[in-house]
């Protein structure tokens, strides 16, 4: 197959500057909603309109928010750490309600997505021998934990990373959850979380800070995952994997090419699953051939997460900022 690049460079304009670390964003029409450190959340306008900011605090605790998701009416934000605090926020920003809490020494949630306006799912590190997975079927009003009888058991040292709110990927009824650490796998459900299977991956693993940090699926078949070794940030082998069969099998690609550790990867829309962009410690890298080769388009090493608005504009966020990337 012959691949051709669509872009050669990217321009950047800043949408938000604040004292905040942001690893979770979601796009809602004209707004980019975000949640981050120090209990901070809000939205920025993409058209020069009004921005909004708030703080969600539980007693004297300022949560470290790492996950965000939305329905037609509400935004949901979830922190990493103990206790878990999941808030529902009305899209006008006027109403905030704590809808789920969980206490425990090992409680640490990583990522959250909605399947539709009624069903949503969030995942976290294992507490009782399996990944912690909570689900709602009433639009986020109530959440319940899925039994470990349903989810494959984890290996010792297998957990997940709250790097960019991209551990959970939803396409139709299909859900993928990626793990990392001493074992790094893909958990897959074809029925909105009722039943699960787990598939091995060839990404670097075996130590606490290795494995998949981020994944994305272009469609039901084509998926890509990145990560690496957080203790060896420049190591650019064993850190990029591709699937073309819905996550059942994966292959290493782009060995010794492009970036080292990366915290987020996303497919470009309307690219037939060929074009990808990543952000992380090495900067921003673009691939037009399903990850076989990579070109650095962005020097910024402080971005943690990104989402595409369309096939030439993405929103990225990280240390103290949200930016708009225009691919040219």
Sheet order of strands, 276-280 included: 262-267, 276-280, 284-287, 295-298
Spatial separation of the C-alpha atoms in residues 18 and 289, rounded to whole Å = 36
Looking at residue 61, its pLDDT comes to 87
Looking at residue 240, its pLDDT comes to 98
Burial classification of residue 220, based on how many CB atoms lie within 10 Å of its CB (0-12 exposed, 13-18 middle, 19 or more buried) = middle
3-state class of 80 per DSSP?
coil
Give the Cβ contact number of residue 318 at 10 Å. Answer: 24
Let me know: does 4 contact 292? Beta carbons within 8 Å: no
Q: In whole numbers, what is the pLDDT of the chain averaged over residues?
A: 97
- Predicted confidence (pLDDT) at residue 206 exceeds the cutoff of 90: yes
Looking at residue 58, its pLDDT comes to 84
Give buried/exposed letters for 146-165 (b at 16+ CB in 10 A, else e): bebeebeebbebbbbbbbbb
Range in 1-15, 28-42, 241-255 with the lowest mean pLDDT:
1-15
- Predicted confidence (pLDDT) at residue 59 exceeds the cutoff of 90: no
Of the candidates 69, 143, 316, 118, the residue with the CA atom closest to the CA atom of residue 77: 69
The mean per-residue pLDDT over the stretch 165-171 comes to: 98
CA 298 vs CA 8, 9, 282: distances in Å:
11, 8, 9
Looking at residue 118, its pLDDT comes to 98
Q: What is the pTM of this model?
A: 0.97
**pLDDT per residue as tens digits for the range 300-315:** 999 999 999 999 999 9
- Predicted confidence (pLDDT) at residue 60 exceeds the cutoff of 90: no
Spatial separation of the C-alpha atoms in residues 280 and 181, rounded to whole Å = 18
Looking at residue 142, its pLDDT comes to 98
**pLDDT per residue as tens digits for the range 25-49:** 999 999 999 999 999 999 999 999 9
Burial classification of residue 167, based on how many CB atoms lie within 10 Å of its CB (0-12 exposed, 13-18 middle, 19 or more buried) = buried
Burial classification of residue 264, based on how many CB atoms lie within 10 Å of its CB (0-12 exposed, 13-18 middle, 19 or more buried) = buried
Looking at residue 33, its pLDDT comes to 98
**pLDDT per residue as tens digits for the range 66-101:** 999 999 999 999 999 999 999 999 999 999 999 999
- Predicted confidence (pLDDT) at residue 324 exceeds the cutoff of 90: yes
Looking at residue 212, its pLDDT comes to 98
Beta strand extents in 197-254 (DSSP E only): 197-200, 210-217, 223-229, 240-243, 251-252
Spatial separation of the C-alpha atoms in residues 290 and 4, rounded to whole Å = 11
Any idea which residue has 């909105």 for tokens?
192
- Predicted confidence (pLDDT) at residue 2 exceeds the cutoff of 90: no
The mean per-residue pLDDT over the stretch 266-294 comes to: 98
The mean per-residue pLDDT over the stretch 47-61 comes to: 92
Let me know: does 86 contact 68? Beta carbons within 8 Å: no
- Predicted confidence (pLDDT) at residue 106 exceeds the cutoff of 90: yes
The pLDDT confidence band at residue 1, using thresholds 50, 70 and 90, is confident
Cis amide bond preceding 273, omega within 30: no
């Amino acid at each position: 197959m012959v691949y051709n690049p669509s872009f050669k460079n990217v321009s950047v304009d800043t949408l938000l500057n604040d004292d905040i670390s942001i690893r979770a964003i979601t796009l809602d029409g004209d707004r980019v909603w975000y949640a981050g450190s120090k209990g901070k959340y809000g939205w920025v306008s993409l058209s020069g309109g009004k921005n909004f900011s708030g703080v969600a605090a539980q007693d004297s605790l300022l949560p470290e928010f790492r996950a965000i998701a939305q329905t037609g009416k509400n935004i949901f934000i979830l922190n990493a750490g103990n206790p878990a605090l999941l808030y529902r926020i009305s899209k006008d920003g006027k109403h905030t309600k704590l809808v789920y809490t969980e206490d425990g020494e090992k409680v640490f949630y990583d990522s959250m997505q909605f399947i539709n306006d009624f069903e949503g799912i969030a995942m976290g590190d294992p507490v009782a021998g399996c990944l912690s997975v909570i689900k709602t079927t009433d639009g986020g009003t109530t959440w319940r934990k899925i039994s470990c009888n349903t989810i494959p058991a984890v290996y010792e040292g297998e957990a997940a990373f709250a790097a960019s709110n991209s551990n959970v990927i939803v396409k139709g009824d299909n859900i993928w959850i990626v793990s990392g650490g001493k074992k790094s796998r893909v958990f897959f459900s074809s029925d909105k979380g009722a039943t699960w299977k787990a598939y091995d991956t060839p990404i670097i693993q075996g130590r606490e800070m290795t494995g998949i940090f981020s994944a994305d699926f272009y469609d039901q078949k084509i998926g890509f995952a990145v990560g690496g070794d957080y203790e060896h940030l420049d190591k650019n082998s064993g850190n990029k994997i591709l699937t073309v069969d819905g996550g059942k099998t994966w292959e290493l690609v782009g060995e010794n090419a492009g970036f080292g550790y990366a915290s987020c990867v996303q497919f470009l829309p309307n690219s037939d699953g060929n074009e990808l962009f990543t952000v992380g410690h090495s900067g921003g890298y673009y691939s037009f051939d399903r990850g076989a080769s990579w070109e650095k388009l962005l020097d910024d090493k402080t971005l943690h997460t990104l989402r595409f608005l369309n096939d030439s504009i993405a929103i990225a966020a990280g240390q103290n900022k949200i930016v708009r990337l225009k691919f040219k």
